[in-house]
Structures are given as C-alpha cells and as structure tokens.
Amino acid sequence: MYNYTILIPMIPLVMFLVTGLLGMKWKPIISGLLGTTGLGISWVLSLMTAITYFFGGHHAEAFPTIIPFETLWLTFSETLQIKMGVLLDPISVMMLVVVTTISFMVHIYSLGYMHGEKGFQRFYAFLSLFTFSMLGLVIATNIFQMYIFWELVGVSSFLLIGFYYQKPSAVAASKKAFIVTRFADLGFLIGILILSFITKTFDFGILTNPDGAVFANAAGLSFMGVSAMTWAMVLVFMGGAGKSAMFPLHIWLPDAMEGPTPVSALIHAATMVVAGVYLVARLFVVYHFQAPDALEVVAYIGGFTSLFAAVIAITQYDIKRVLAFSTLSQLGYMMLALGVSGYGGEEGLGYMASVFHLFTHAMFKALLFLGAGSIIHAVHSNYMYDMGGLRKYLPITHITFLIACLTIAGVPPLSGFFSKDEILVAALEHNKLLFAVEFLVAGLTAFYMFRLYFNIFWGKDRHYHHTPHESPLTMTIPLMFLAFASVFSGFLPFHSLVTADKMHFDTHLHLGVAVPSVLIGLLGIALAWLLYKKESKTPENIARKLGVLYTATYNKFYFDEIYLFITRKIIFNYISRPIAWFDRHIVDGFMVGIGTVTEKVSYRIKGMQSGQLQHYAFMFVAGALILALVLVYYM
Amino acid sequence: MNIGQFIMMRHELLLTAVALIILIAEIFTADNSKKKLIPFSIGLFALVTILGFLPVQEGTLFGGSYQGSHLAALMKNVLNIGVLIIFLQAEGWLRRDENADRISEYFLLTISTLIGMNFMISAGDFLIFYVGLETATIPIAALAAYDRIRSRSAEAGIKLILSSALSSGVLLFGLSLIYGAMGSIYFADVAQTVTANSMVALGFIFFVSGMGFKISLVPFHFWTADVYEGAPVNVTSYLSVISKGAASFIFAIILFTVFKTLTEMWKPVIYTLAVFTMTIGNLFALRQQNLKRFLAFSSIAQAGFILLGILGANDLGMTAIVYFVLIYVFTNLGAFGVVEAISNASGVETIKGYNGLYKTNPKLSLLMTLALFSLAGIPPVAGFFGKFFLFTSAASSGYYILVLIAVLNATISLYYYLLVVRAMFIEKSDNPVPAFKSSPYMRVALLLCVAGIFAVGFASVIFDSIREISQNFMF
C-alpha cells in the first residue's frame, strides 16, 4: 500500500545525480525546473502518504508502525545487522510533510532568488542532495541508517553554507558548522555503540518497544556513578544538540547564515536543525523508560538555550542573525517540551506539543527567512540600519512577514499560539522553574521579533541604491503559501495524530496559561512599538545605560571567543603541536626511511636484470638449487 | 566410450574448429581483402566464448588422460573472455599495412596456444599436461617475434624460445624423476601413492621451477622484462594475462590434487617463492620508465600474490585464485589496452610520455587510473576484493607474517602505480600525446574491462558461484 514511499527520497537523489553530473551542459534554469518538478512529485507523494496514513480509517487503536520497504545492507552478527528501509509512523509521516513542503517552497523561491547566480545548477544539485539526505534520515528504520543520513545531511549543509566559496567568511562558516556538528556526532556515534552493545540491535522497532526487554543487559552497568543507559542517551542527545544547535554547541548556527538565504530557510530553520528534536522524539520511549535522567538534561539544556538565545537576539542588527537566534530559542522550546513530557495519554502532552511546535515553527520560520531573503533581495543588505519604511515598496513581503511575526509572538488564533501554549502547559505541570523561563522567553520573543519588524518596515526611508521593488512571483508565491500555513496549521488536531504512545488524547485550552502568555506577548509587541515604531534615541540610551551587560550580549556572551581560546591556545599548543611533532619526525621519519631503503635496494639489484640470456639461465638453475635447499632444510 | 562423450572436450574442439576455419578462410580470401579476416575471426571467437558457457558434464576421457570438470570449464571460460578482449584490442594493430599478409597468422597462433592451455588445464596425466604446456608456449615465441622487422621483437622471440626450452627441459626432467619414483604418470595414481622421498622432492623442485618460469616467479622471471618490452603490446598483454593465468590455474590444480599429501613439503617452497616474487617484482617495478616493462614487473609482483592463494591450500584458496585471475584479466587488459591504444596512435610507451595525458585524452586517463587502482587493490574496485580474498585464504591457514609482507608490498606497489597517475593528471607537458579517437573495437574492449572491474567486485553472485564450483572440485 505504501510501496511508493521509497520514491519520496529517491526522486531527489536522482535529481541530484542528474543535475550534478549533466547540469553544466544545460542552461541553468533547466536544472532548477527539473529539481523543482522532482521535488513537487515528492511533495505530492508525501501528502498522499500523510492523508492515507492519518485519515485512512483506523481511529480507535494506536497508529501502526509500517515498514513498506527494507533491505539488508550489512550483517555483523545474527542480530546486529544494518538495514536500509522506510519506516512510517506518525512522527516520520509528519516529518515527510514538513521536509518536502519546505523544500518544495524553497525550490520554487530559489528560482527567483538565485536567478543569474554563478553555480545555479550546483545550488539545485546540492538542494536535492540535502533533501534526499534529510528524507532518508526521517524515514530511517534503524539508528544506524539514521546516522548515515545524519552525516549526509551534515555534508550537504556544509556544501550549501559554503556555496559562495570565494567568500572567506562563507568558507569559515561552513567549516565551523561542519566541525562543530561532527564533534557532536562523535558523541552520537559513541552513544549508538553503547546502545547497540547493550541491546544488540539498531532497530527502532525493537528499541522503542515500551516493555524495554532489550535493555535487560543494562542493569548494573555504570560508569563514573552514572548508569550506562544514561550515558548512552546523553551522548545520543549530544549528537542531537549539535545538529539542533543547543547550548553550548550553538555557535555554528549564527555563522551558518553566510549561506544563501533560501538555504537558511530550508536547513537552518525548518529541517536540519530540527533533526535533533526528531532524534530525541524518535527515541523518546527509550529516554522516558530507560534514562529519565538524560531526559532531565534535555529539558534543562533546552530551557537554557531558549532564554540565552532570546536575550542575544534582542541586540543583533543582522536580520538573518536575529532570525538565527530566534531559531535557537524556538528549538530550545521544543527540546524542553520533550524533556518535560511523560508517556501515555495526557502525560504525553509535552511530546505532542514539541512535534506540534516543530511543525508550526517550520512553517513560520521558513516564512520569516524567505521574507528576509525577499527584503535582502530588494535592498542588498543584511543590516536593519540599512532598512526602513519598506512596507510601501514590498507589500506582499510586508504582510506575510507581519503574519509570521504575529504567529511567532503567539497571538491567537495563529498557529504559534496553539503550539506554544501546549508547551507552556506541559512545562507548568512538570517544572515551575522551566515554566517561568519559557514564560519570560515568550515575551522576549515578541519583543525582538517586532523590533525587527518595525525597524524594517516602518521608520524613515534609507538611501537605497535603487527604489526597492517587490520580488518576482516565484518568490512571493511561496511566501503566501507559507503565510497561509502559518495561520491555519494551528488547527491541525495533533493530539489525535502525533503522540508519544500513538493514541489519541483530549486537550483543552488552559486559560490560566493562555491568557497570561498572550498578554506578555502583547506586552513585548507594545514595548517594541514604543521603542522602534518611530526612530528615536531611546534604544541607544537604554543600551548605553546597560553598559557591559549590553556589550556582552551583543557579542553573544563571547562564546565564539571562548571556543577560539580553548582551541587555538590550549588544544593547538599543548596537544596538537606535540602530536604534529611526533607525526612529522617519528611516523613520517619511519615511512620515509622505508621509502629510502626500498629505493636503495631497488637500485642495488638492478644489475640482476642484465639482458644476457646465459646469465638468466644461470640464475634459473641457481634458483632451482636454492629451492631444493629450502626443501631439504624443511624436510 | 561413445562419441557423445567427446562433447566434454567442447572447449578444445570448438577452438580447433575455429583455427581450421580461419585457415581455410585465409586460403579463400583475396590478397587485397585480408582485413576482412579480422571481424570474421573475432566474431567466430566471440561465438566460441559464448558457447563455452553452456553447461558441461564432468568425467574423464581416454582412460583418465583428460579430465573434464566444472572448475576446468570455468577456468577455460575466464581465459576465453580474456582472449576475446585481447583480440578486440589487436584490431588497430593488425590493420596496419605491414601486417596485412599475416592477419590469420596472428589468430591461428594465438588460438593454438589457447588450445594448448585448455588441454593443460584438463590434463589427467603428466604427459598431456606437458604436451599442452608446450603447445601453449612455442607459438607464443612466434607471436613475440611477430613484428620481425623490429629487432627488439625478434630478440624477444629468440629470448623466449631459448629460455623456455631450458625451463621445459628442467620441467620434463622433473616429471621423469617423479615417474621414475612412482611408476605412473596419471595424476590419480600419483596422488594416491606419492610420498616424500628425495627423488620425488627433486622432481618436484624441477617441476616447480618449470612452472615458475611460466608464471614468472622470482628467480625464474628474468625473461619476462625483456620479452614483454620487445614483443608487440598485444602479445605482451597475452603473455602477462592469459599465459600466466592458465599456468597459475594448472599449478594450483596439480598442487592441490596430485601433491595434496605432500602439502607440508611444498608449503615452505611456495612461501619462499612468494616472498621473493612479491618483493623483487616490486623493487624492479619501482625503477621502470617503459610502461610495458613496468607492467611486466608489476605482473611479477601480482603473481606473488597468487601464491598466497595457493598457500591457502583449501577451497577458499582455489576460489581466491580463480576470482583474482578473473579480475586480473579485466584489470590488466584495461591497462594494457590503454597502453596499446596510445602506442598505436602515437608510439609513446614511457611513463614520462604520459605527462599531461588527462588534458588531451581524459577518458583514457580515467580508465587507466581505474585499472591501476584496481591493480593496486584500492577499494571499491574489483582488484581490492581479489587481493582481499587471496590474503584471507593465506591468513586462514595461519600465514600472518606472509600476509604482512604482502600488505607491505601492496603499499609499495601503490607508490609506483600512482606515479603513472601523477604523470597523467598532475605533471605538465609541452607536447603531450595528442587527442585521438580509438577504434570501435578498442572501445568495446575497454568498455568490457571497465564493466568487469566494477561488476566482478560488486556482484557477489560471481564470487559465490566460483566458490561453489571450487568447493565441489576440492571435495
């Protein structure tokens, strides 16, 4: 019934190969159209899958886990095997929709945004590669397949951030993203190894069985006073934290904004960065039953990241960076929701809220980024002090951007309101401190988003090189579509679709949470209105009064500098240098020595090949005699 | 014995028929249209190659002098594929005016040696084995001297015939010693009664020396470099792939069946030969400038690797040998094909001459790189798997130090294979080999090689079927 789902990732793969290998021979636009068409097909197939899966009949019992396709790839032992396949369950089907929708929109948008860029076909080839990898990750039937595609996602992200490879800052950013996430993946890999050592399986189906039978071996295993399962799951989370840019591995995401803006929308807002959330959600049963301590770590890291990033976002001037920090903050929300969630029925509210927010966030954050792209396209700058009064020049961008800002600020009845509200409720039931943090962040979010909005669209006109004009239809249609999705996706009944135990449960509006959270959002908006609607010196004055606090925030609390100090000054000097010396003098010296000896011997014996037949005959007979001696010796 | 049983000798009979048909066709072809013989002969041979894959029955003929087995049929098919590729590659060279009057000669001589090899592989006694061996050798000497106006070619022919006379003499002496000790020349009889006494031991050493000459094991290899360099490229590729492959096959068969009870006796001998062959072959290959000489020494080193499979002395060893030779056919013929195409087009045969080849002939350069990578055993191309199974079979018999030596040698070989790659891709040249288009025949041959290099490595069904046939043969 779902056999066709294998096509969903395969089409982008084929598109990658076709546009990658043959793209140079065609007009650039052909690659673009081809990639977009292919992805359109994948999108339709994903929607079909989602509709048949969610609304195809069975409502009474839990949603089934379906594996329509699986093939054995490698066998280590009877039980430990690596398979490749397609797994359909509520969360993966939902992710198929998210990934293909955003990717399809970005494909269309890029036709306009990237028009005339050098390397247009390369861009589309990489987009297809990324989409293939992300889809492969989403539908993975086992943790190893997920890891393989996880790395592929990392590679394609690296390629896309470094798309403008003549720009040193883009190259540095791509390297930074790759190295930081790779470092995190080291933890992920070790986590996988511990997990498979304990359970002798990679299979999600077996791992996430709530009875936990495969974890029987784990009892009593511990390291440094912490149980083996907690270690494993914290390490797995480290991989997720790297991809989802959780504190303290968040440093790559703001820099990743060096990539083309559609890439930021696709990868660094809606899809790749939620891979970490998806990973934790995928293994949620294991976290909940086997390693509740690890889940606690997830909750606190998520909570801290959301506050930390929201504070930084207030002070940034590069509009893409504001959005990047906002993404960090929202990802923190999702992690936190998972961290505070329970399992089964209403206990699982956090889980449901997290994936719900993942879905709505994907829509409105992609919209924000694409809107930012449209603005940058019009004024050729990333900085908000180069912008102002744009609402008359970019009407469609203005309206859609405003919708997105209202959504993220949690204004009802837009989608962000619903998903954020569920998260707050879940947090309140579990942990008052985390609830307080999130409540504050809701206000901060509204404030920095509207600071952005007012700075861009209101205030005075700047000296533009040419009059800014609205972007072409290829760019505005995705904006309108995503705006539509941002407004209405809040009405999707997630509580009966994607839940921890795959069963339906009832939710109700918690007025005690909803009203204050809406109010603090409105307060944030009002504050932004006062400070930024008309240009004034007030914000500067406030900043000056805050002094060191402001500077530290503006400089992202110097985290980049700390990392640089640790790597350059400590690791490079005290670890790398001695290793390099050892490598150059001992290891290389040995190898060069072998080479020299080989060369010398080879030179010495060249006289043996004299060209004289009688000499050869002598050697032949002598060789036979020597062999006879060998034989005599051994007999 | 009824006539129907002769069908067991299908490979040999078909080849003989082809040889005769070509001979007759030669008589009836007008002098100015001799070139038509090329597609005609290649077509006939292609047909024979395909027919070779029809299933055969197992059994013996002529009172045990001829043994038909599935393994032998498989080996013959491997050789046939190789010869087909070589024929396709020969087309450009044969078409030259100077060769116009001796096209059929080339095909006749080559097919004759192939018939000899087939008989050798299916031999059931030492006499048939010896006759097959000689039939396989003497026509090659004539082939090596095919370009007789070139003194190097004539020299190659003379050197080959003289040194092979010596080796055949020694081999025959060895066989007569064994006969003297055992009183029988039949493999089956010898296998049952052979014991390790000094007469058998000496006979065995002489037998190994003679075979060592054919497979070009150190120190019986000296003829190789001179003959390979002097002979026409096409003949060199035949010598280095087909001759060597056939000799390796029968060497393994005889060691595994006839001298099975003496395994402990011959293992040290083969061990010594393996170490010297790999190492010396590599050390010489390092210094070569002429590509034919270079490939000659590299093929000596490769022969050393085959000995690792022989040391395995079990069905895995046999599988690894057949599998390795199959891969070696595609790989080495790929490399030789490029050398031949370039030699035909521009006469360049040195590594320096290949400088900047990628700029002018990118496809040939890539193909050459692929072949060299496969020779060096870099995954994922087939050569890696070939070496891997040879090493595995030696390791499974406990020869860890030898495997270590083999790995070191493989590393050294990587260096010189990469020298050629560097010349093609990195070195610059003021007058590189000009761009040219090779003939359709050559392109088909090279495509076959590329397909082989990938398919044999990846399609596990090939390895599995070889494994099955070898297992049936060994037990």
Give the pLDDT confidence of A524-579 residue by residue, as tens digits. Answer: 888 888 887 777 777 777 777 777 777 777 777 777 778 778 877 777 778 888 88
Q: How far is A618 from chain B (nearest CA, A)?
A: 10
Interface residue A611 vs chain B (CB under 8 A): yes
B398 by DSSP, 3-state: which? coil
> With an 8 Å Cβ cutoff, are B273 and A613 in contact?
no
CA dist., res. A317 & res. A320, Å (int): 9
The rounded distance, in Å, linking the Cα atoms of B296 and B102 is 26
The interface predicted TM-score (ipTM) is 0.84
CA nearest to B158 within chain A: A613
Calculate how close chain A gets to B269, using CA atoms only, in Å.
6
* H or E element in which residue A74 lies: strand A66-75
Choose the mutation target among A72, A603, A616, A629 for the interface with B, i.e. most B CBs under 10 Å: A616
Query: Which of B189, B182, B187, B191 minimizes the C-alpha distance to B124?
Result: B187
Q: If you ran DSSP here, which 8-state letter would residue A574 be given?
A: I
Three-state secondary structure call for residue B463: helix
**How are the residues of chain B apportioned to helix, strand and coil, as percentages rounded to the nearest 5?**
80, 0, 15
A136 close to A73: Cβ distance less than 8 angstroms = no
Q: What is the mean pLDDT of residues A267-294?
A: 87
- Give the CA angle between residues A395, A399, A401 to the nearest 5°: 115
Residue type, A517: S
Residue A156 and residue A227 in contact, taking contact as beta carbons nearer than 8 Å: no
Give, for all 475 residues of chain B, the pLDDT tens digit. 567 778 888 899 999 999 999 999 988 888 888 888 899 999 999 999 999 888 888 888 888 889 888 899 999 999 999 999 999 999 888 888 888 888 889 999 999 999 999 999 999 999 999 999 999 999 999 999 988 788 888 899 999 999 999 999 999 999 999 999 988 889 888 888 888 888 888 999 999 999 999 999 988 988 888 898 889 989 999 999 999 999 999 999 999 988 888 888 888 899 999 999 999 888 888 888 888 888 888 999 999 999 999 998 788 889 999 999 999 999 999 999 999 999 888 888 888 888 888 888 888 999 999 999 999 988 778 888 889 899 989 988 889 999 999 998 888 888 889 989 998 988 888 888 888 888 899 999 999 999 999 888 887 788 888 888 888 887 6
Give the torsion through C-alpha atoms of B10, B13, B19, B23, to 10 deg. -140
Chain A CB within 8 Å of residue B183 CB:
no
* Cβ-based contacts of A599 with chain B (< 8 Å): 286
pTM above 0.80, yes or no: no
| A88 phi and psi angles, rounded to 5 deg | -115, 120
Does the CB of B160 have a partner CB in chain A at under 8 Å?
A: no
For residue A383, the tally of other CB atoms under 10 A from its CB is 15
**CA–CA dist A325, A407 (Å, integer):** 17
Residues 6+ apart with CB under 8 A from A400: A367, A371, A476, A479, A480, A482, A483
Optimal mutation site among A602, A605, A629, interface B, most CBs of chain B within 10 A: A602
Strand intervals (E) in B58-112: 59-61, 66-68
pLDDT digits (tens, 9 = 90+) for A33-74: 888 999 999 999 999 988 888 887 666 677 888 888 888 877
Q: How many separate domains does chain B show?
A: 1
High-pLDDT (> 70) share of chain A, % = 98
Within 10 Å of residue A467's Cβ, how many Cβ atoms?
A: 8
Which domain covers residue B292, as residue numbers? 3-474
Chain A residues in contact with B290 (beta carbon < 8 A): none
In the prediction, which pLDDT does B1 show? 55
Tell whether B167 lies on the interface with A, counting CB pairs under 8 A: yes
Residue in A599, A602, A621 closest to B284 by CB: A602
Question: B223 — contact with chain A (CB < 8 Å)?
Answer: yes
Single-letter residue type at A600: K
- The alpha-carbon gap from B297 to the nearest alpha carbon of chain A, in Å, equals 11
In Å, how far is A341's CA from the nearest CA of chain B?
46
Query: CB-CB: which of B201, B283, B415 is closest to A635?
Result: B201
In this complex, which of A605, A606, A624 lies closest to B209 when CB atoms are compared? A624
Residues B297, B351 contacting (CB under 8 angstroms): no
